Amino acid sequence: MSICVLAAFMAACTQNGGGQEAKPAPQAEKPDRLSTSEPLTLKVWTGDNEQMFKETLVDPIKKKFPNVTLERIASQELSLDKLIAAGNPPDMIKQTKNFMIFNVMPVKMEMDLTPLIKKYNYDLERYDPGLIQSMRSFGAQGQLYGLPTTKVGHSLLYNKQLFDKFAVPAPKDEMTWDEAIKLAARMTRLENGVQYRGMDLQFYNMIASQLNLSVIDKNGKANMSAWSRPAEMFRQLYSIPGNNVPIPGTIAKVMEPFYKETLAMVVINPSTMMTATKQYPQLAWDLVTVPTYPEAPGVDPYTNYTYFGITPTSKYPDEAFKIITYLNSDEMQTELNRAGYPTVLKNPDIQKQFAANSPELKGKNLQAIFKHKQSDPYVSPYFDNSVDSLVRTKFNEIIAGKKDNNTLLRELDEAIDKKVAELKAAAK
């Protein structure tokens, strides 16, 4: 044995406690299943129907990773708690933001993606920053429980023929609510026995969420007293003679008069009209950005966008993460964006191709969808259907002009606090 080898050997013995057996070298990290031909099935809990699941997930993933099968578990049929009880939890979750709050976190099926993001040096700067910030708001220490995969925005849709008919200038991007309501007043009229209405909203809380106002604050207390500004804007819109109808409550109800060409403008998710264009070919419509407040320019209403998450029980978190990041790659986001699913990336070259595969939408102001940043009001876990019903009822009273706004908002605070107390008691 040479002196050098002996010295090295002695040094090794000294480091291992003088003659004790050396610890085995750490094993090399096992390659993930995506880089092998070994079959892998990942279960995805989602609200997507079978066709959408196949077209947007199964087919592109099978093309990229032939050994991977994505299995759909319909959230409409099986809740997470039932899956957990049956010992069959999903590996991945594709749901809306609200599902995270009301269905995922209560059963502790959220997983922080930060370690995987660091492990793979994944670049979050590619995303619309508002979407990432919104996802981080769920974690007490800024955890990131999912990555956005489809942006859901709002726009102001308008009937071009009605504006031409009444010789009123059409809506434009970056209007304020004051300007939009004045426009709605000019378009609201009774003519030849037909009642034309100026504008309607999909949801009552749209004009409050732009100011990041929540119904219930982080302390579990009603926050409606802070809604004086949007409540007044709401009253102005629905006190226009002929435009004072109850809150529609559903997409079908709010869109019905628009399809019948008796509603000039509607603030809604534009995909509703995009998918209905072939059904109503005679309807000449376009879109602009949602009206905003001067104190909060360039801010859209709250959007319940879709995100992808990984469950803490999955045996394949690395593989699931790589599948999610592939779906959010420039390649896949371009493909989905062209098919009419708005990209979550801030890349303008991708955004410009939105709905390019739909010739019937050519010439429309589709880029309005990407011009505003997302608002991010706090959504309380106590904001359930019963609380939503309370608020909708009171806002219908605003439309009816039964009481002044301050009285209604105060009564609403009291009713919500009572309801939250009941929900807390029931949860014990």
Look at strands 189-191 and 194-201 and give their pairing: antiparallel
pLDDT for 141? 86
Across the range 325-350, mean pLDDT stands at: 94
Query: How confident is the model over 148-187, as pLDDT tens digits?
Result: 998 878 999 999 999 999 999 999 999 999 999 999 999 9
Domain range list for the chain: 35-152+303-364, 155-302+384-427
Name the 3-class secondary structure at 40: strand
Across the range 127-148, mean pLDDT stands at: 88
Sign of CA dihedral 334, 338, 344, 345: positive
pLDDT for 10? 29
Query: How confident is the model over 92-130, as pLDDT tens digits?
Result: 999 988 888 888 988 999 999 999 999 999 999 999 888
CATH topology of domain 155-302+384-427: D-Maltodextrin-Binding Protein; domain 2 (3.40.190)
**Does residue 373 register a pLDDT over 60?**
yes
| Summary mean pLDDT of the chain | 89
- Percent over 90 (pLDDT), the chain: 67
Across the range 221-230, mean pLDDT stands at: 96
Query: How confident is the model over 389-405, as pLDDT tens digits?
Result: 899 999 988 888 888 99
pLDDT band at 30 (very low <50, low <70, confident <90, very high): low
**Does residue 329 register a pLDDT over 90?**
yes
**Bridge partners, 310 (sequence order):** 92
Query: How confident is the model over 191-212, as pLDDT tens digits?
Result: 999 999 999 998 888 889 999 9
Across the range 339-365, mean pLDDT stands at: 93
| Same fold flag, 35-152+303-364 and 155-302+384-427 | yes
pLDDT for 16? 38
Could you please report the per-residue DSSP string of 263-312? EEEEEE-THHHHHHTTT-TT--EEEEPPPBBTTBTTEEPP---EEEEE-T
- Look at residues 332, 355, 350, 324 and name the one whose alpha carbon lies nearest to residue 128: 350
Across the range 293-311, mean pLDDT stands at: 92
pLDDT for 59? 95
- Percent over 70 (pLDDT), the chain: 93
**Does residue 252 register a pLDDT over 70?**
yes
- Give the residue, 30 or 143, on which the prediction is more confident: 143
Q: Are 173 and 185 in contact (CB under 8 A)?
A: no
- Give the residue, 262 or 248, on which the prediction is more confident: 262
**Residue 285 CB burial class (10 angstroms; 0-12, 13-18, ≥19):** buried
pLDDT for 86? 94
**Does residue 12 register a pLDDT over 80?**
no
Across the range 363-384, mean pLDDT stands at: 88
pLDDT for 4? 39
Across the range 342-353, mean pLDDT stands at: 94
> Rounded to whole angstroms, how far apart are CA atoms 114 and 199?
43
- Structure-token pair, residue 369: 């969808």
- Structure-token pair, residue 353: 């191709």
CATH 3.30.565.60 given to domain 35-152+303-364 = no
Query: How confident is the model over 56-78, as pLDDT tens digits?
Result: 999 999 999 999 999 999 999 99
Across the range 380-390, mean pLDDT stands at: 86
> Rounded to whole angstroms, how far apart are CA atoms 378 and 55?
33
Could you please report the per-residue DSSP string of 172-214? -TT-BHHHHHHHHHHH-EEETTEEEEEEEES-TTHHHHTTT--
**Does residue 375 register a pLDDT over 70?**
yes
pLDDT band at 29 (very low <50, low <70, confident <90, very high): low
